[in-house]
Chain A
Amino acid sequence: MATKTANQARPSAQLRRAFATPMGLVALICLALVLFLAAFGPFIWGEASQTRDLTNLSGGPSAEHWAGTDAGGRDMLARVLVASRLSIMMALESTAISLVVGLILGSAPIILGRRVGRVVNWFIGIAVAFPGLLLALFFAVVFGSGAHQAAVAIGLAGGPSFARLCQTLIAGVLGRDYVAAAKVGGVGRFRLFGRHVLPNIGEPLVVNATIGAGNALLAFASLSFLGLGVQMPQFDWGRLLKECLEQQFRFHPLASLTPGYFVVVAGLAFSLTGESIARAMSFTSLGDLGLRGKARRRAAQLAAVADAARAPDTASATVPDAVLTVRDLTVTFPAGPGEVRPVRGVSFDIGPGEAVGLVGESGSGKSLTALAVAGLIESPGRVAATELGFLGEDLSRDGAGAHRRLLGTSLAMVFQDPMSSLNPTQKVGHQLAELAHEHGDLSWRQAQARAVDRLAAVRLPEAKRRAKQYPHEYSGGMRQRAMIGLGVMLTPKLIIADEPTTALDVTVQEQVLDLLQAIRREDGVALLFISHDVSVVGDICDRVMVMYAGRIVETLPVTRLHGGAAHPYTRALVAAVPTMATDLDQPLPTIPGRPVEPAEVPPGCAFAARCPLADARCREQEPALEPWLDGQVACWRPVGADTPATAATLGGPRLGAVPTARRAVKETVETTRVAARGAVDQAKAAARDAAGQVRDALRSAADQTRRAVLGEEEGPTEPGHEEAQP
């Protein structure tokens, strides 16, 4: 979902989306009407606009003449309708001129080389700074009056802003590796421009030209109104407006503005249509760049878990103190006439302080599972579950509003791309502080102090100075840490990290993993760690869940991940990762075939087509997730249960005599550890509650001064701060 970029989606679908909004639809209908007028207006009303009604000179609106008549007794409305052709044609002509000028100037750096390009850029910079209308007036005076002269004037005046747009778009394309690849391959610059640049800036350019046509229409009407544009006997809307205001306004002020109404409607039709398409195709990303992270956070709070199915009370075996309990979670999207279900009934628990990994190839539904838990699936996606319990509240009941606060304060999400959560236009410290200020009852100053404290806690060097910087001044690893810092601003009980280190290199990855581990240890936070890389998950988690085609196919303790997994898919995933011990004389083990698409899940075991052990039963009946050793597996022929031949096919030591004494001891130790951590956790929670009560009591009675004192008292009640600092 988040990984799919806008231009990968099908354009026709995007267009449909553009006009699915009320504004987009209205704009499109208006535009169609306007274009219809331009095409057929003169034929339909041509005659009517010539007929003089000499008994009714400069008349007001009447049943016969809706918009009144002009000084010559001609029907005003008919004249306005006829004028639409010239008005629209001239607007389009000047837009075309702007576009050509813009393309020529904007592409100069590619075609003419860097040095000439720099001069051109400099020139564009100056020209853009000039007010467009002033420029148009200047050119209009130079070229003299007349329709085409005015069109050229407006076109030239619009050139610089189109040049700037072209520059931005072209720079975006030039930054892509396919241009670099073409250059390295010896592709010449004209071909580069024609084959790679133009096709990739075409759509946004056309859309922006549509917006521009709206502006040109206004500008043209203005010139004509000033007498610089269309001259008698031709007339356009601007010219008519001038006449009307001179002849009619005194008597019939409202009717005399008729041409003006048309200008406004037609101008808006062009602009809004363009805007709608641009928004649907996310072209004008420059403008809404700053909104994305915010929108995502907001969505986090607002998204609907509401329409999750109202489940009958099943006596599900819920772990009593689990932080997160998920039963039979599904995520469904409409697709064409039917539906697809990328998450098909997922159940699991996460205990307090437990670190659970979720692995699988991309497209297996890991991210959607995480987003569903966080209430972040956006319409038209639907989430259903028989139980979705978070800290004792059932998120699948009641509206999302009821859980907003709980999710906002106790659940933290960390994404692969930190910029999805950080606002590029705000200082990092400010963003962290805002969160605590809004949700955490801290004064602004306290919130800021906590922001610095948390940035230090995530091992950001020079946290105080860094807090005053913008995200773009951070390196990738630092941004990732800042996002984790955002996550631990409030005291979360669960951190969901979706591929948090996939974009990082190994050394930075190691640091981020260490950090997550430290936060978990110090604050007893539970962690759901999502990755396609089993080896990373193995490094940080207690338990691993393996997902395939929207289902969990195996859960197992991490100690069993290497060599002891029962599901053929888990074993294949583990074997696919090269390590420092990989045999160099053999090809790397790979998983044949492709992951299953949600739209084409086969009957039987979804992995059957790629599984070396698959037999007839596998292809017909789907295996259920059943307890297996110290975990669960959904497979008819789990490795370790079968004949020795099975194990030989799959490699790795057989697990025939599995629970050795050593492992049993280890498990006991592990259980004790978790229990102990749970106890510590409860104690901490109790302490925090008590502190909270004292705080509330104080606050109700306290004045400003005492609140400041309280700020100092708060420190010790939140465990983990001090230790967290390096």
Chain B
Amino acid sequence: MSTLRFDHITVRFGTGRHAITAVNDVSLTVPHGTVVGLVGESGSGKSTLARVAVGLVPAAAGAITLDGRPVPRKGAGRPLQMVFQDPNSSLDPRMTVGEAIGEITPRGLTAAERQADVARLLELVHLDPARAGAYPGQLSGGQRQRVALARALAGRPSVLIADEITSSLDVSIQGAVLNLVRELQAELDLTMLFISHNLAVVRYVASRVAVMYQGQIVEEGPAEQVLAQPEHPYTRRLLAAIPGEGTRQGQGSERHRTPSELTEGEPND
């Protein structure tokens, strides 16, 4: 079991007059085996919350617990792993795919075991294990993001935090990465905090949704409920801003598609 809890977390940057409260008294639970979607505009504090969880940013107040115990923030084998937005930045250009993943695999493996583990992880994210020797520069954007996912999984995390992992990808690749996330989640029974500014993306992977606005969580609940009957005005604004929902040109019902138009079998990966 691994339930992640943010308990009255506050994060401040800067000191004195210039201090900014990026996260303001946020409490949030990510229950074991579920994906919680965290949405909000950039600057609303989503990434900061994620970085607090994995120990990259200190919290000014509050506690983060995993099954009631404080999350260890030092040393190897940490139970929380994170996937970052831009795979161009999150993979070291001078390290091969195999080295990058192998670096996070548990300590004490022999070289052969480590290699096998890397191959298994690459397989898991649908990459050819033979690509272990490739440098990130030789991969496409979508493949890089898969490597980043494999690396995060190499640490055998109890909880995975995905911070805007499809925002820097082409829409045509985004679909494949989202499918992979859902597949991995089901296969490994992952507990996951999935951050995105796109509600349609979050809707596809998350069973619960939390909406963050100006450092605070303004709405939280089961995905269907939050998306169908948003309570907070900000959630409604986010919903209205989803591109392709035909709000801008006022061309009326022509632009609203029926579900059947969208989902009938397109070519699959």
Contacts and interface: CB of A to CB of B under 8 A. Distances in A.
A590 B244 contact: no
Interface in B228-258: 237-249, 251, 254-255, 257-258
A549 to B, nearest CB: 14
Contacts of B179: 587-588, 590
Nearest to A187: B103
A535 B243 contact: yes
A181 B262 contact: no
B268 A592 contact: yes
Contacts of B249: 517, 539-540, 558
Contacts of A200: 92-94
A702 interface: no
Interface residues of B, number: 84
B94 A580 contact: no
A169 B88 CA distance: 18
Given A199-B94, A562-B257, A506 B43 contact: no
Nearest to A5: B88
Contacts of B243: 506, 509-510, 513, 533, 535-536, 538-539
Interface of B: 41-43, 51, 54-56, 75-78, 80-82, 84-86, 88-95, 100, 103-104, 137, 140-141, 148, 151-152, 154-155, 170-176, 178-179, 182-183, 197-201, 203-204, 227, 237-249, 251, 254-255, 257-269
A578 B257 contact: no
B89 A509 contact: no
Contacts of B244: 534-536, 538-539, 577, 579
26 contacts: A178-B100, A180-B90, A184-B80, A185-B76, A185-B78, A199-B92, A200-B94, A504-B42, A505-B41, A505-B197, A506-B41, A507-B41, A533-B243, A536-B244, A563-B257, A571-B266, A576-B172, A580-B245, A581-B258, A583-B263, A584-B204, A589-B265, A589-B266, A590-B176, A652-B261, A653-B260
A505 B76 CA distance: 34
Contacts of B245: 579-580
A580 B172 contact: no
B217 to A, nearest CB: 17
A539 B175 CA distance: 20
B104 A185 contact: yes
A579 B200 contact: yes
B104 A575 contact: no
A187 B93 CA distance: 17
Contacts of A180: 51, 56, 82, 84, 90
B203 A506 contact: no
Nearest to A652: B261
Contacts of B242: 506, 579-580
Most buried by A among B86, B171, B199, B200: B171
A294 B227 CA distance: 45
Interface in A179-206: 180-188, 191, 195-196, 199-200
Contacts of A475: 43
A652 B86 CA distance: 33
A576 B172 CA distance: 6
Nearest to A191: B103
A446 interface: no
B42 A573 contact: no
A510 B197 CA distance: 12
Interface string A587-600: 11111101000000
Contacts of B175: 576-578, 588-590
Given A582-B262, A584-B204, A576 B141 contact: no
Contacts of B269: 590-592
Contact of B78 (A186, A506, A611): A186
A7 interface: yes
A582 B200 contact: yes
A538 to B, nearest CB: 6
Contact of B92 (A178, A517, A572, A650): A178
Nearest to B94: A199
